[in-house]
Amino acid sequence: MGKLDDKGVVVTGAARGIGRGVAQRLGAEGASVTVADLNAEGAEATAAAIRDAGGKAVGVGCDVGDRGSVRSALDAAVSEFGRLDVLFNNAGIAEIRPLLELSEDEWDRMLAVNLRAVFFVLQAAAKRMRAQAPIAGSELRGKLIQTASIAAYRGGLAYMPHYAASKAGVVSVTRTAAQVLAADRITSNCICPGAVDTPMWKKIDAQWSKIEGWQTGEAWKRRTSFIPLGRPETADDVAGVVSFLASRDSDYMTGQAVNVDGGLVMGN
């Protein structure tokens, strides 16, 4: 028996990186996973990997910035697996821009994907959870899990002011949802990863290193050199914590922003 057996889970931004790693972990622990991503082929590839490992998964294309697309993805999840027990609200973007060079369009795009879309995906999922019976063996009707970042607490990220602002907003939305939805027996928590070895961080490194005149890889090297545990973070490191938040072991947790960073905030 897996600890997530019979749980219907939706993971957004799951074609690669943290989302893919989490989707595979939840699938391995028995969850029925709807893998959602703007890259529909990538979503199906992740779903296929889960099925090949013996799990249950379906891949769907989903633009988290389009409320109709979000509804369609949630419809597909409920149609395929019967319930929506857990949302891992993970889709997001990142880019490097110096504070004094950041344009209005760049600010708006970052906040549209990383905060506005996160809120409305959360809202759509919560409405469905509120209307369903409690999860088998639990007092809860559903669990909302967002991806924030330690950037939410680090205003010193001079080249990522719009990203940091968006992730601080995710923490705020997470805590508001926890308060509002507690009476409906829905929890809301978020994770705050640090420097995770993903394609997103490769993009950050390339942009950051170019601005500083460094060789590619130098920004990543410098950023990860401050991690007290002595190594970069992986998607698997994040997946274990999300698995805990998706399981019954965390039923009495809500409104929490959990740092998963190898001590990076503490160490720097």
Question: DSSP 3-state assignment of 259?
Answer: strand
Strands 86-89 and 142-147: parallel
Q: How confident is the model at residue 267 (pLDDT cuts 50, 70, 90)?
A: low
Q: Which tokens go with 156?
A: 């010193």
Would you say residue 62 has pLDDT above 90? yes
pLDDT, one tens digit per residue, over 207-253 is: 999 999 999 999 999 999 989 999 999 999 999 999 999 999 999 99
> What's the rounded mean pLDDT across residues 121-129?
98
pLDDT, one tens digit per residue, over 36-58 is: 999 999 999 999 999 999 999 99
What's the mean pLDDT when you consider all of the chain?
Answer: 95
Q: How confident is the model at residue 147 (pLDDT cuts 50, 70, 90)?
A: very high
In a domain, 3, yes or no: no
Catalytic positions, please? 163
In a domain, 220, yes or no: no
Domain enclosing residue 153, as ranges: 8-196+234-267
In a domain, 133, yes or no: yes
143/137 Cα distance (integer angstroms)? 14
In a domain, 228, yes or no: no
Distances (CA, A) of 58 to 80, 83, 108, 170, 195: 8, 14, 32, 27, 29
Which strands form 186-193's sheet, in the order they lie side by side? 56-61, 32-37, 8-12, 86-89, 142-147, 186-193, 257-260
Question: DSSP 3-state assignment of 239?
Answer: helix
What is the per-residue pLDDT for 152? 93
What residues contact residue 169 under an 8 Å CB cut-off, 6+ apart? 111, 114, 115
CATH of the domain at 179: 3.40.50.720
In a domain, 206, yes or no: no
Total domains in the fold of the chain: 1
In a domain, 147, yes or no: yes
- Total-model pTM: 0.96
In a domain, 96, yes or no: yes
In a domain, 219, yes or no: no
Among 242, 171, 228, 201, smallest CA distance to 96 is for 201
